[in-house]
Structure 1
């Protein structure tokens, strides 16, 4: 009797979570607040990173399954180096992407040579820049946060930016909330110091 009660409770939780997942997919576009941070480095440079134009369009997934989330995200990261530092900037880069988390893994079975768990597919193309890098498919572990870079661009001057517009994002094999948090980061290196500065968006749910 106790086993039956436990099984019924678990099935009830799965049903409610699945219904919530389907309803979440029908939400409308959601614009998000711009964020910016700046610091002065030890060698005198004013370093700034800005996240703008972030937007999430949620869509019911084409497979009509409660274990898949689908949507389109837009995001821009801009880095600026100002001032008159006392050491030259040798290298630098700007990057942007998302941190994602899955609450419950509902995948099963085994795959040779692949991690088992919810998978994320990102529709970023490598055409955003010769030096841009992307990770098109990543496997999540429940209870962990996984960073998905959309692009990394070297600084060729005092300003650089990366813009990703209507990027397709799909997460399979996840039950319950799927959380997203954007990030934008700038890194610079001089002969006397290395500095990194990041800004994060507000958490959202796909």
Structure 2
């Protein structure tokens, strides 16, 4: 029996080899530091401040076979503080390129035409007139304790009224030129436009009007940019 107990004890006390702990994974490498001397990719530059999308081109097919097209591109409309510092003024810094083309094989002879480009500014409410009405008042009273003497106080007041009218649209022609041939262009950069007496929200959009002339006819088509609320 003692031999069986010794064998059992030997079996219990035999150490069991354990598997080694798995080594921790190394941390990921840090992101590469950009090289300040490396060239900058300018294939997708940021749009200029105040950039707005251009509207669809204005297209006209004339009865005598000419095709007129006027379009805008690279437009910016940046609201800026008015130089007058008046809160009823709206002022913008404008840029854009406007192009007019005449193509086709018309039955008449072209003699040239004219091209105009500018901005249209709309104001929801116009402040028309301001009226100031002075007033005077007298307030009687009785002295306390009662002595039989009447008292009173005089006052002076001012009442102001602002008369408002429905909004209007102001058309600001920035350039107008006559041309010969079949193509014309106007490029505007850094031009300030302003409207006054605007008491409500304002809106702005570009426009360009192409006039194609022959000896006896005029054909007119207008491009309108995207309306921007400011």
Q: TM-score, normalization: structure 1?
A: 0.63
The structure number with the bigger radius of gyration is 2
Please list the CA deviations of residues 100-154 of structure 1 after superposition, one character each: whole Å capped at 9, or x if unmatched. Answer: 2222223536xxxxxxxxxxxxxxxxxxxxxxxxxxxxxxx74222322111111
Question: C-alpha separation between the residues in 1 aligned to 2:66 and 2:183?
Answer: 13
Question: C-alpha separation between the residues in 2 aligned to 1:38 and 1:167?
Answer: 27
Would you say 1:159 and 2:180 are equivalent positions?
Answer: no
91 and 59 in structure 1: CA distance in 2 versus 1, 3 angstrom threshold? same
Alpha-carbon contact 1:102-1:176 (below 8 Å) kept: yes
Question: C-alpha separation between the residues in 2 aligned to 1:70 and 1:31?
Answer: 16
Would you say 1:30 and 2:54 are equivalent positions?
Answer: no
RMSD: 2.4
101 and 34 in structure 1: CA distance in 2 versus 1, 3 angstrom threshold? closer
- Name the SS of the counterpart of 2:200 in structure 1: strand
83 and 179 in structure 1: CA distance in 2 versus 1, 3 angstrom threshold? same
Stretches of structure 2 lacking an aligned partner (at least 5 in a row) = 1-48, 131-164
**Deviation for aligned residue 1:191:** 3.5
Specify which of 137, 146, 150 is matched with residue 170 of structure 2.
146
Alpha-carbon contact 2:52-2:75 (below 8 Å) kept: yes
Question: C-alpha separation between the residues in 1 aligned to 2:82 and 2:171?
Answer: 22
Please list every run of at least 4 consecutive aligned residues from structure 1 whose deviation after the TM superposition is greater than 6 angstroms: none
**Deviation for aligned residue 1:170:** 2.5
Question: C-alpha separation between the residues in 2 aligned to 1:106 and 1:192?
Answer: 45
Q: TM-score, normalization: structure 2?
A: 0.57
> Which range moved further: 55-64 or 192-201?
55-64
Q: Which has the higher helix share?
A: 1
Specify which of 182, 189, 195 is matched with residue 206 of structure 2.
182
Aligned residues: 149
